[in-house]
Structure 1
Amino acid sequence: MILPKFVQLCACCVGNRWSLASQRQESLSEKVHFGRSTLPSAVCGGSIFGLVFRVGCVIRLVSDAGPLKGVGSMTISMTDYFRDRKSDRKKETRYINVINKDNCTSCNSCANVCPVDCIYEVVSPVPSESYHQIDTSRCIGCQMCYRSPNDSSEFYQLTICPWNAIDMLHNPNSKPDDVSVLLPYYRGASTDLPWPKLEEYGYQLFLDGEVFLPASEKSLHRVFQLFQEQSWMYSEEDNVQIVQTEVEEGSGYVRYRATEEGRELLDCMYQGWKRIFMD
């Protein structure tokens, strides 16, 4: 049977495009994530046919090439992360980002774009209860997990996280305040406290009620030893610990959790905190 010229032309185009997609399968797999394709326009085109072809590329890559880069494989569990963790950044950055675990759905949007791989997943046996966290001592403040800086302005923000689960902060370690927001609540005997670090990790405790630290970074654990002192003003008469004395020790990491009274106190400390740049 002789097919109409239009059908022959479409079949020829399909054959050529599938051939090109097969040759470029490796590179294309790096550009597909979360069901949104960013395949080159030369391959996909801008027509309805191009849209159908994009869906076909995704299906074919999943079935023929195995797991895609950017579809689940970019996330690293907290166990693997802390086992192979790299050293902290060499200098302080203007911004740091923190994830609100209650809003996070572990969709991987942030982990896929992090250039220093400082985002890891806290894996739960129940998939819907897994969430991501940012190692703020390695975060370089590039903003990429929060928004696309080149595509944002004062009038419009092209955000990365679809659930608004990330807060971007002015790093308290970069330009410390003359008087820390935590100072009025401390009644202990220790002096020369690292107030900027206390603010950095105190905000994470305020937001999530927990912080993961690498077991080898002793200076960071000193910060949490201060939070564990029964020296934080809860009322005129009572002092409390912000962080529980008991900690969870894992493979290469330590998890600190806030006390119930500590979280209530942190709610007061960080009310209206001016270092929240974007939330």
Structure 2
Amino acid sequence: MPRPALEPPTPDGSAGLRLAPLDTSVDSHLQIKEVVYRRLVRAIVELELEPGRQLRERQLAEQMGVSKTPIREAIVRLEKEGLVTVAPYRGAIVRGYSHGDVREIYELRELLEGFCARRAAMQITESDETDLRANVRRSRALLDQGTTDDIPALFDEFDRILYRQAAGHRIGGLLVELDLHLERLGNLTVGVPGRLDASVRQHEEIVTEITKRDPVGAEAACREHIRSVFADLINALPEQLTRTPIA
């Protein structure tokens, strides 16, 4: 997806912060605190709230039309997930990533997704294999047509199918913990020249190895893909994302 434009913050990090009031009717089955949390997560992951942005409880509460309590509870959860940091005298601040943080995240991703690809080659269900094949065919067709807007969503779907191969395994839980950071960082690579082409080709190679029932080949192809994405990301990493590195 295209990266949203970022407004430069003022010295206190608050300028340009505008979140629409919550439409609780859309998520009427959820508690307000969960709706608030999900809204803030999406704003951070999609770079609507960029690194260095100060999250003021009163301002957020007024803009979202809620009390400060669900805002405060959401910030606690976001801090645990590494998306914000609470600094003395400054309050909650959206976190960024140092190059070392990104390397660590992608080293973990390489290990975990490589494991999922290996398991897929050994025990993938007919349904998941059908979905993977359809996914890469659709990605290739869109790429060849020059219609690329929907390709990032297909990439996300590809990853989710791979992640399903770790169901019931502890690695599945680790992937869940990384997922928000991977999605956030992944939003930065879509515009890198040649990245879509490379990812479509690499996904095709992974699926080929899985359908050949070659666990070693599937893991190797997946790990090579992750290393390729990391190389592009680290070169494209904007200054905004490194403003407040994870401690």
TM > 0.5 between the two?
no
Which protein has the larger Cα radius of gyration, Structure 1 or Structure 2? 1
Which is richer in helix? 2
Q: Could you tell me the TM-score, scaled by structure 2's length? A: 0.29
